[in-house]
Amino acid sequence: MASQSQGIQQLLQAKKPVAEKVSEARKGKNQRLKQGKEEAQAEIEQYRLQKEKEFKAKEAAALGSHGSCSTEVEKETQEKMTIL
How far apart, in whole angstroms, are the C-alpha atoms of residue 57 and residue 51? 10
Sequential DSSP letters for the chain: -HHHHHHHHHHHHHHHHHHHHHHHHHHHHHHHHHHHHHHHHHHHHHHHHHHHHHHHHHHHHHHHHHHHHHHHHHHHHHHHHHH-
Residue pLDDT tens, the chain, 84 long? 567 788 888 888 888 999 999 999 999 999 999 999 999 999 999 999 999 999 999 888 877 766 566 777 788 888 877 886
What pLDDT does residue 46 have?
A: 97
Structurally, how many domains does the chain consist of? 1
What pLDDT does residue 66 have?
A: 62
What pLDDT does residue 82 have?
A: 81
Q: Which residues form the domain of 1?
A: 1-84
